[in-house]
Amino acid sequence: MARARLIRSIALGVALLVGGWLVVSGPPGSSVPAVSAPPQRTLRQAWPAATVAVAPGRLADGTQYSPGLYLDATTSVGVAATPDGAAQRVLLRTGERVRELTRAERERYPRFTSFTAAGGDVYWIESTATATQPLQHRLWKASLDGDAAAVPLTADTGDGEFPGGEHDLVVHDGRVYWAAATGRDTEVRSVPLAGGPVTAAKVDGAYELSAWPWLQTAAAARAGGRQELRNLDTGARVTVVKSAAETVDCGPVWCRSVVSAGTGGDTSYAVLHPDGTARRRVGGVDTFPATGAVALLDRFEPVLQTGTRTAYDSTHRLALYDIRTNRLVTLADDTDQALARDHVVWWHQGDAWHALDLAQLHD
């Protein structure tokens, strides 16, 4: 379970996986292509018309800005302290314009995660705790237009887990959904977009949300055990085909497999369909998942390349693995943080944030 938690942290971009090389065969009926991938090219070589937007890492008031979601390459929602350090703010940043959506006092130890946007609004989770108040989660909403302040939708989140994954919050059919644990089972909880009472539908087993209408087996429950995808609309279940040595994170179309052992710092990293087909190796032993999002646009995997045999280096090369063409494309060298969500990948380099909208990458 500790290894599962460690690998999950890698996927969220707040830690990097350390492991050793382990040669394993793929699940029955699958195979890793014997041919090598084409030589690695730069972004400009692969997609000459692609552009990368760059924004300073610090705001005009001198505070460090950390984006949690990019709506496009130049518009983001993120977090920065107030200049006096007394509070943390959630901000909407468009070019040089910065709009405050909400703030929480430092004494409450606020943490803002799970940003998602839909229909002209943005949603996120605020988590706070003090010496006299246990951990509390609150769901917030703000309009992306105008100057209205954010409004809380509900604090009735149950035992929700909000590590910052792409599908912590899912907006569908006029409601915001999230998963909450209830012992060995799961509640799929939701609230209307306009606010109101929370409803909860119980699902047997431990799950987390994936792309709607799918659930996948929760991270803590899938290490070394049976793993599946489950359709909330139809009740259909798809067993993820994998070997016992693999830790697999899935969406409905693609899964990411990571195998590690020992302390050498090497990793076996592949992508495959949930049924085990179309398995292919991603990079060499120095290649690691860069973010928690699996196969952006059902095509792109952001990866980190250490260039050494350890994942403890402070900076890495950021590359994009193109599943369709089986090639790696260099995005940037010497990055110290990379994240991705929906159709945008962004990274920190040289005290600036760089963002690439993957929707512009056409063959």
User: What mean pLDDT comes out for the span 33-50?
Assistant: 77
**Closest alpha carbon to 231 in 258, 248, 251, 245:** 251
Specify burial of residue 263 (Cβ count, 10 A radius: 0-12, 13-18, 19+).
Answer: exposed
Predicted confidence (pLDDT) per residue in 46-89, tens digit? 999 999 999 999 999 999 999 999 999 999 999 999 999 999 99
Q: How confident is the model at residue 38 (pLDDT cuts 50, 70, 90)?
A: low
How many structural domains does the chain have?
Answer: 1
Residue 161: per-residue pLDDT: 87
Query: Is 7 strand, coil or helix?
Result: helix
What is the model's pLDDT at position 99? 97
**Do strands 175-182 and 185-192 pair parallel, antiparallel, or not at all (unpaired)?**
antiparallel
The first and second tokens of residue 193, run together, are 């977009």
What is the C-alpha radius of gyration for the chain, rounded to an integer number of angstroms?
20
Half-sphere exposure of 219 (CA within 13 A, CB side): 24
- Find where tokens 């703030």 sit: 103
Q: Which of 83, 81, 125 is nearest to 106 (CA)?
A: 81
Tens-digit pLDDT profile for residues 195-221: 999 999 999 999 999 999 999 999 888
As a whole number of angstroms, the distance between CA 51 and CA 357 comes to 8
Average pLDDT value for residue range 81-107: 97
The whole-number pLDDT of residue 337 equals 92
Which CATH number does the domain housing residue 216 bear? 2.130.10
Whether residue 133 contacts residue 85, with contact meaning beta carbons closer than 8 Å, is answered with: no
Alpha-carbon distance of 277 to 281, in angstroms, equals: 12
Higher pLDDT, 14 or 329: 329
Residue 117 corresponds to which amino acid? A
* 330: containing domain: 2-360
Residue 276 scores a pLDDT above 60: yes
Does 10 have pLDDT greater than 70? no
Q: Yes or no: say if 205 and 184 are a contact pair by the CB < 8 Å rule.
A: yes
Q: Where are the beta strands (DSSP E) in 129-173?
A: 136-143, 151-154, 170-172
| pLDDT over threshold 70, residue 186 | yes
Query: CA geometry: angle at 65 spanning 59 and 70, to 5°?
Result: 110
With cut-offs at 50, 70 and 90, classify the pLDDT of residue 312: low
Question: What is the residue type of 277?
Answer: T
Burial of 142 (0-12, 13-18, 19+ CB in 10 A): buried
- Category of 225 on φ-ψ map: left (φ > 0), alpha (ψ -120 to 50) or beta: beta
Note the residue count of the chain. 363
CA-based nearest residue to 104, from 69, 129, 68, 76: 129
pTM of the model as a whole: 0.86
Structure token pair of residue 292: 């928690």
Which two structure tokens, joined as six digits, stand for 173? 């059919």
